[in-house]
Chains A and B, each alone.
Chain A
Amino acid sequence: MIYLDNAATTRTAPEVVEAMIPFFTEMYGNPSAIYSLGSAGKKAINEARRTIAGAIGAKPEEIYFTAGGTEADNWAVKAAAESRSGKGKHIITTKIEHHAVLHSCAYLEKSGYEVTYLDVDGDGLVDTRALKEAVRPDTILISVMFANNEIGTIEPIREIGAIAREHGILFHTDAVQAFGQVPIDVEEMNIDMLSASAHKLNGPKGTGMLYIRSDVKIRSFVHGGAQERNRRAGTENVPGIVGFAAAVRRAQRIMEEKARKERELRDYLIGRIEREIPYCRLNGHREKRLPGNVNISFCFIEGESLLIMLDMRGVCASSGSACTSGSLDPSHVLLAIGLKHEEAHGSLRMTLSEENTKEELDQVVGHLKEIVQRLRDMSPLYEDFMKSRRDRT
Chain B
Amino acid sequence: MYSEKVMDHFQNPRNMGEIEDASGVGTVGNAKCGDIMRIFLDIDEDGIIREARFKTFGCGAAVATSSMATELVKGKTVQEALQVTNKAVMEALDGLPPAKVHCSLLAEEAIHAALWDYAQKQGIAIQGLEKPKADIHDEDSE
Contact = CB atoms under 8 A, between A and B. Distances in A.
Q: By DSSP majority rule, is chain B's interface helix, strand, loop, or mixed?
A: mixed
Contacts of A321: 34, 59
Contact of A341 (B7, B34, B60, B140): B34
B141 A379 contact: no
A302 B27 contact: no
B60 A305 contact: yes
A380 B59 contact: no
Contact of A379 (B11, B32, B56, B59): B56
B95 interface: no
A380 B34 contact: no
Interface string A282-322: 00000000000000000011101100100010000000011
A328 to B, nearest CB: 6
B33 interface: yes
A29 interface: no
Given A328-B33, A341-B31, A378 B55 contact: yes
Contacts of B13: 378
B38 interface: yes
Interface size class of B (residues with CB under 8 A): 20 to 34
A182 interface: no
B107 interface: no
A383 B27 CA distance: 12
Contact of A345 (B11, B16, B34, B137): B34
A328 B59 contact: no
B85 to A, nearest CB: 23
Contact of B34 (A308, A312, A330, A377): A330
A120 B57 CA distance: 29
Contacts of A304: 59-60
Given A321-B34, A322-B33, A345-B34, A301 B57 contact: yes
A302 to B, nearest CB: 5
Interface of B: 7, 10-11, 13, 16, 18, 27, 31-38, 55-60, 62-63, 99, 137, 140-141
